[in-house]
Amino acid sequence: MARVVVVGGGYGGLASAARLAKLGHEVTLLESSDRLGGAVGYVEQDGFRWDSGPTSTLLPAVMRDLFRKSGRALEKEVELVPVEPMRQHRFPDDDPENPIVLDLPGGSRGAQIAAFDEAFGAGQGKRWAAYVENFADDWEALRQDWLERPYSPQHASKHTQDLLATRLTLDKLLRKSFKDERLRAVAAYQMQLEGHDLRNVPAWMGLWSYVEQRFGSWTVPGGMGSIADALASRLETRGVTVLLSTSALDLELSGGRVVGVRTEQGIVDADRVVCAIDPRRLPALNPAVERTMPAIPPVVCHIGVVGPVPELPGEVVLHGDPMLVLRTTGTAPAGAHSWTILGRGRLAEDIVTALQRSGIRVREQVEVRVDRSPRELVQEWGGSPYGVLWQGRNTVSRRLGPRTPIENVFMAGAHATPGAGLPSVGLSAALVAQVIGPA
């Protein structure tokens, strides 16, 4: 049995701690704030409640695996249900009052073909399906060699090695695949929301469109914050020591290997350390990631709206510059609605006014409002939940995880391999558990 200290109580830290405790290790989790969950949680005000971060997840099998392998099936803790449609894409086409609308279904090739044909014209559905299908082999290769086991060039297939080394960017792939810029925008949506320049994103990252089509998108009724609550309860059941309001100042090293974590309250002894925060916050790890940059969060505004509103799905993407993303899944008092607006791009006016100008007119009905700037989000969460900014193909090797250059120090979370987003963060914790192994 090893003494394991997990630094960071976000989703990656919670998942790592739960897995390692089930493997028989003595686990202590350090969290700088007064609550667990990081970006997975709630914002509440005057009876309104919004998810503070993600409102859905892909690859539900990753979350189910986490709960099953830490002691109890997910279905016995929270209800995970499919999102349909996954989201709505709106293109103003010079008339915000009558936009072109794509209701994008998940989990079905045929349904996506029909949706694209209806929105953009006959034949566009097959073009989309052909683009997505091209990622089938990429998905299988990366799943086996990079996502579900620690990457080893000696044991990875040539296909995987070629993908991770490719110079082909997502920008070039999309321009080659689609003449219609609206289809390119749908395919690029997630990367653009996270703040990446498509010219710096490797083409294989487009495989998330394949994942959406094959597995769909999933959510928890009432909010994704309940996932963090369930994991916090799981840590208690597994006997994990949780130290809130305890910031990790640095790693304590001896002879080139870690022996503990330094905090303001003293040194917490450790045989293994899992860093589930931005490694820049730990001076000992900072040199290993000095050539990377964090992906900055978008502008976020939570609003409480009273009275009748347009009937909208859980997520609406309003394409343009700026790009606005409206999420309508919060909980609110009777006759009211909890919405979240995210803004990315040249936001030259108030974000609620920008939403109004896009054709969704609720400005006069806003009763409660909580604005959260990118700086405030990073300060609150101790780093960016969007992880590492793509700066070309070398970002793959410059991102740490599951191992790091320091002996017995490991990486999980959005800044680790394989990247940001609940599925990838969950996979990062599984990779760490594989490397450390059972007690």
Q: Does residue 12 sit within a domain?
A: yes
Residue type, 10: G
Are 371 and 392 part of one and the same domain? Answer: no
| Residue corresponding to tokens 């289809």 | 183
Residues 279 and 412 in one domain: yes
Residues 134 and 269 in one domain: no
Task: Locate 102 and state its tokens.
Answer: 């794509």
Distance, CA of 54 to CA of 331 (rounded, Å) = 15
pLDDT at 406: 97
Query: Does 204 fall in a domain?
Result: yes
State the pTM of this model: 0.96
**Token couple for 307:** 């009275």
- Residue 369 CA to residue 349 CA, distance in Å, equals 16
pLDDT per residue as tens digits for the range 101-152: 999 999 999 999 999 999 999 999 999 999 999 999 999 999 999 999 999 9
Please state the rounded mean pLDDT for residues 334-353.
96
Q: Which residue has the tokens 């006759």?
A: 335
Token code pair at residue 61:
């099998």
* Domain shared by 282 and 357, yes or no: no
Residues 147 and 251 reside in one and the same domain = no
Tell me if 324 is assigned to some domain: yes
Which pLDDT belongs to residue 339?
98
Looking at residues 383-402, what average pLDDT do you find? 95
Q: Is residue 144 domain-resident? A: yes
Residues 360 and 304 placed together within one structural domain of the fold: yes
Answer whether residue 64 is part of any domain. no
Q: What is the mean pLDDT of residues 188-211?
A: 98
322 closest CA partner among 337, 301, 305, 303:
301
Closest by alpha carbon to 40, among 61, 20, 55?
A: 55
Among 180, 211, 242, the domain boundary falls at 211
Name the token pair of 95: 């008339």
Residue 158: which domain range? 106-211
Q: What is the mean pLDDT of the chain?
A: 96
Q: How confident is the model at residue 97 (pLDDT cuts 50, 70, 90)?
A: confident
pLDDT score for 6: 98
Question: Is there a single domain that holds both residue 197 and residue 145?
Answer: yes
Are residue 415 and residue 274 in the same domain, yes or no?
Answer: yes
Across 174-196, average pLDDT: 97
HEC sequence for the chain: CCEEEEECCEHHHHHHHHHHHHCCCEEEEECCCCCCECCCCEEEECCEEEECCCCCECCHHHHHHHHHHCCCCHHHCCCCEECCCCEEEEECCCCCCCCEEEEECCCCHHHHHHHHHHHHCCCHHHHHHHHHHCCHHHHHHHHHHHHCCCCCCCCCCHHHHHHHHCCCEHHHHHHHHCCCHHHHHHHHHHHHHCCCCHHHCEHHHHHHHHHHHHHCCEECCCCCHHHHHHHHHHHHHCCCEEECCCCEEEEEEECCEEEEEEECCEEEECCEEEECCCHHHCCCCHHHHCCCCECCCCEEEEEEEECCCCCCCCEEEECCCCEEEEECCCECCCCEEEEEEEEECCCCCCHHHHHHHCCCCCHHHEEEEEEECHHHHHHHHCCCCCCECCCCCCHHHHCECCECCCECEEECCCCECCCCCHHHHHHHHHHHHHHHCCC
Instruction: Check whether 1 has a pLDDT greater than 90.
Output: no
* Final residue in a domain of this structure, among 158, 178, 211: 211
Backbone angles phi, psi at 68, to 5 degrees: -65, -40
Preceding omega of 85 cis (within 30 degrees of 0)? yes
Q: Domain check: are 264 and 323 in the same one?
A: no
Q: How far apart are CA 42 and CA 152, in angstroms?
A: 38
Give how many domains the chain has, as a whole number.
3
- Amino acid occupying residue 232: A
**Residue 400: is its pLDDT beyond 90?**
yes
Mean pLDDT of the 48-69 span: 97
Identify the domain boundary among 177, 211, 245.
211
Examine residue 121 and state whether it is found in any structural domain, yes or no.
yes
Give yes or no: residues 25 and 170 share one domain: no
Residues 8 and 114 in one domain: no
For 78-89, what is the mean pLDDT?
Answer: 96
User: Can you tell me which residue has the tokens 């409660």?
Assistant: 368
Rg (CA), the chain: 22
pLDDT bin (cut points 50, 70, 90) of residue 94 is low
In a domain, 57, yes or no: no
Convert the pLDDT of each residue in 7-30 to its tens digit: 999 999 999 999 999 999 999 999
Residues pairing with 218 in the sheet: 57, 82
User: Tens digits of per-residue pLDDT, 241-283?
Assistant: 999 999 999 999 999 999 999 999 999 999 999 999 999 999 9
CATH code of the domain in which 422 resides = 3.50.50.60
- 128 & 193 share domain: yes
For residue 63, tell me if it sits in a domain: no
- Asked whether the predicted pLDDT for residue 93 surpasses 90, the reply is no
> Taking the chain, what is the end-to-end CA distance rounded to the nearest angstrom?
4
